[in-house]
Structure 1
């Protein structure tokens, strides 16, 4: 099935790539990890941008542009019929992330509503926090645990995203990103200015870029840096395959990839420069700030920002600005996730209107558990966040099967003004094959659950939030299903086209 619509120009696909990459992961996940590890994490994160993420993004962009299909069809066209199930895993891994990631959009909107509501409160936020020090923690708990308001907000986000995409690529995805992405960058820069001008803010910036060399001996920071690079750039998600399937024939793959990847990392650094200085500005001492950051608090962005702006003149307005930015970032990333499922279903020959109904239904049903329960949310983040590395490995394996040099010459370099050295591209592929396997093995060997495989009764512990058993069960189910229907997938997504 050929596309009937493409992006109108280069900036259309660049903004779509930035919209895909720049999301809540930059404003919510990156500051938390940079706060835990400081400059050591940032160094590894930048290294993995060039070793892991950019080669994968170049591959994905090339696949989508040349085969003009969704993830399953594009991957199988490269790797061959026997490996179609790998494309199926990549698709379901990204959907697994999308089902819970979209909940972050709902959280952001809840806090945006909270910030707007501050204008109508009789007592200011600081007064209420003095009376009840756990005021913001209690609010976070109410938002993230069994809240029907959060569920309703989540459903609204999904329906809004489906409505935008129903307008098509140019009038929906492209037009929305022309507003979302520039607005997001402007808002982030305003917040950085405020944070750095608060007393103690500069110390937070110094901490963010200070290097503790002992961190490099901790395997956890390596996999956190790799997974964050994959998470924030979209490498291994299949989203770039989806977006580039709507690209114009003369797009420069390498140039577009580098602009998108570097733009994403810039947004992450700016977000870190906004939030980490705020933590130092609000803490009673540098030691207290560092202690708080190194806890890796998942709610860091949501609990710190309202308190930050409560301390500055006009803070209520700035809090609204920040959570508006966070909502825009999360929503801009939700759109390509919805489009990924849409593109694959369209490859089956379904009309876009019918597909959008299916997409809305699937996201509402499968995202509901994460919207209702933070434990489910954390489990899905645990399972499919690590699953991104498996998805990346599958793309690399498909690349090796096709031939790395052959692929680069035939697809990546075709019509490109900017070209990366073949030795760099080829070397990265083989390094990543080893690196990905080592890091997954190391991560699962750590036993982050008290009972990683079996519980006290000797039963398979797949219901534990952070168990290896949960990871293996969910990955194994998707892989087994993909293998069983491999022939069907190939016929439907490749052969019959």
Structure 2
């Protein structure tokens, strides 16, 4: 094997595991999970862990094994796994994840902005006197819309990620994650330790794991649990497939997925331990803390966390640590997404340098609208975040195309030291179809837009940020393009290899 070929695969099992953890552990662990754990406590955590094994791990096992077998990017590997006629499904998975990639660099940029704010609070104590919720809400509005500094940070994040990756997987992705993931986990543990050391901090821990039996009969808790698991672990993104395409010949499929899936959930738990005790530490009473957490404040990270830490002794320093961890978590997921884009172009026979350059230009240009407008950002998050459920169903479809038993024997179990029970894997491959379809229906039936399909004038409401019309329109464009150019895509990504 040449040095160049050697550089295009991970050097060890730990390289694969750290890349998988880097892909999975992202901003959602430090932002969305603590909010949901705060709303629903231990009931949510139990269901969330259950769906890790029912939805996320089976789909990730399937993804990883496809990438490991065919050693190509998403479109090429999926086409070979599902069949030529279904190349368009692999195209949809790729576009869906790229849709997220284009705005995820903006999340990283926001994290860096708050690192700057937290650092200023440390350096200038007089700013602490101005620190209140209206100040933080104005700061958030300022950086999320029409802010050229946010645009500049978005460009910086893309260029830095591409620079880290252009040398190849072994010298790029693997080296970055060896530093990034241990550092990230250390920082989150540090914040958790300080939060628990406060006077009322341990009460937050007790609250986080308390179980309300009545919540098991609340359908919304179940929905939140499965969607958090699906989106946090990266099931259906095609990222695990991309990582696996660089794995060694005898890589252990099941062991790697179990470690990355469970590791992602543990990282979320640690983040919850950092946030919930902090809420109890600064609240005037336990009742006030519980009332705040049950409100499910979606602005928890950006408009509340700085306020929380500022009220803890030396909490300004802790705020810097938290937002550094947040930015690192977002970046660790971003580099895996950008690697998927680079891999797509190398599959088209571009050399890695040229593929990296094209990726940088594409991500900067396509991410600009999200960096400049929070409405555009929210729309893309709305459309492609839900689209991941479609992507997950397509992975399940590829398994069924091969026969579940045959797929498990040939793709998953071949080099696995641990074998998931066949009856369980078969069960998940069947039950996840109605789960996925129900989730999509449920999400669209919630009425997040006043006019989900047509506006007041009877026009198709495609321009509404949160309408069903905008979801269906964008999905349909991608799917139709994929179907119309299915043969061309297969020829470009598979035939000429």
Q: TM-score, normalised by structure 1?
A: 0.96
Q: Give how far 1:45 is off.
A: 1.1
**Match for residue 397 of structure 2?**
397
Deviation at 1:433, TM superposition (A): 0.9
Q: 5+ unaligned residues in a row in structure 2: which ranges? A: none
Q: Tell me the SS of whatever aligns to 1:155.
A: helix
Q: Aligned partners of 2:205, 2:245: CA distance in 1, in Å?
A: 40
Other structure's SS at 2:462 match: coil
SS of the equivalent of 2:304 reads helix
Which among 93, 104, 108 is matched to residue 105 of structure 1?
108
Q: For the structure 1 residues 133 and 254, does the alpha-carbon distance in structure 2 shift closer, same or farther, using more than 3 Å as the test?
A: closer
Q: Cα distance, 1:161 vs. partner?
A: 0.2
1:237-267 Cα distance to aligned partner (Å, 9 max, x none): 0000100100011111000110111110000
Describe how 1:349-368 pairs up with structure 2 within 5 A. Answer: 349-368=349-368
Counterpart for residue 36 of structure 1: 39
1:80 to 1:133, Cα distance in 2 relative to 1, 3 A: closer
- Tell whether the 8 Å contact from 1:17 to 1:243 is kept in structure 2 after alignment: yes
Give the Cα separation in 1 of the matches to 2:78 and 2:419. 23
Are the aligned partners of 2:281 and 2:312 in contact in 1 as well (CA < 8 Å)? Answer: no
Q: Which residue of 2 aligns with 1:55?
A: 58
In structure 1, distance between residues paired with 2:278 and 2:249: 45
The superposition leaves residues 81-138 of structure 1 with CA deviations (integer Å, 9 ceiling, x where unpaired) of: 111111011111111111122211001100111111223325151x223xx5512222
Do the aligned residues in 2 keep the contact of 1:223 with 1:443 (CA within 8 Å)?
Answer: no
How far 1:188 sits from its partner (Å)? 0.8
Deviation sequence 1:198-252 (CA, Å, 0-9, x none): 2332232222222334433443333322221111111100000100100011111
The CA distance in 1 between the partners of 2:10 and 2:143, in whole Å, is 37
User: Which residue does the alignment assign to 2:435?
Assistant: 435
Question: Could you say if the C-alpha distance between residues 364 and 490 of structure 1 is closer, same or farther in structure 2, counting changes exceeding 3 Å?
Answer: same
Q: Name the counterpart of 1:480.
A: 480
Aligned to 2:21: 18
User: Which residue is equivalent to 1:73?
Assistant: 76
The answer for the alignment partner of 2:148 in structure 1 is 148
Gaps of 5+ in 1: none
Contact 2:60–2:240 (CA<8 Å) still a contact in 1?
yes
Name the SS for the 1:415 alignment partner. Answer: coil
Alpha carbons of structure 1 residues 254 and 98: separation in structure 2 relative to 1, 3 Å? same
Following superposition of structure 1 onto structure 2, how do residues 394-433 of structure 1 map, counting pairs within 5 Å? 394-433=394-433
SS state of the match for residue 126, structure 2? coil
Which position in structure 1 is the counterpart of 2:200? Answer: 200
| C-alpha deviation, 1:449, in angstroms | 1.4
Structure 1 distance, partners of 2:180, 2:405, is 37
Q: Please list, as runs of the form range in 1=range in 2, the aligned pairs for 1:293-308 lying within 5 A after superposition.
A: 293-308=293-308
Within 1, Cα distance between the matches of 2:297 and 2:157? 25
Kindly state the Cα deviation for residue 3 of structure 1 after the two structures are TM-superposed.
5.5
Shift of 1:30: 1.3
Structure 2: how far apart are the matches of 1:300 and 1:370?
Answer: 21
Asked whether 1:277 is paired with 2:277, we answer: yes
Inter-partner Cα distance in structure 1 for 2:344 and 2:424: 32
The 2-side partners of 1:153 and 1:268 are apart by 26
Q: Which moved more, 1:310-319 or 1:151-160?
A: 310-319
RMSD: 1.6
- Contact kept? 1:44, 1:222, Cα under 8 Å: yes
Q: Is the 8 A contact 2:73 2:241 kept in 1?
A: yes
Which residue does 1:323 correspond to in 2?
Answer: 323
Give structure 1 regions of 4+ aligned residues with deviation exceeding 4 angstroms: none
Indicate how the Cα distance of structure 1 residues 436 and 165 shifts in structure 2: closer, same or farther if over 3 A, else same.
same
TM-score (norm 2): 0.96
Structure 1 residue 286: deviation in Å? 3.1
Which residue number corresponds to residue 261 of structure 1?
261
After TM superposition, list the pairs within 5 Å mapping 1:181-260 onto structure 2. 181-260=181-260
Question: What is the match of residue 128 of structure 1?
Answer: 130
Rounded Cα–Cα distance in structure 2 between residues aligned with 1:255 and 1:295: 38
Out of 78-87 and 215-224, give the one that drifted further. Answer: 215-224
Match of 1:82 among 77, 81, 85: 85
3-state SS, counterpart of residue 174 of structure 1: helix
Which has the larger displacement, 282-291 or 163-172?
A: 282-291
Contact 1:192–1:274 (Cα < 8 Å) also in 2 = yes
Alignment partners' CA distance in 1, 2:466 and 2:24:
26
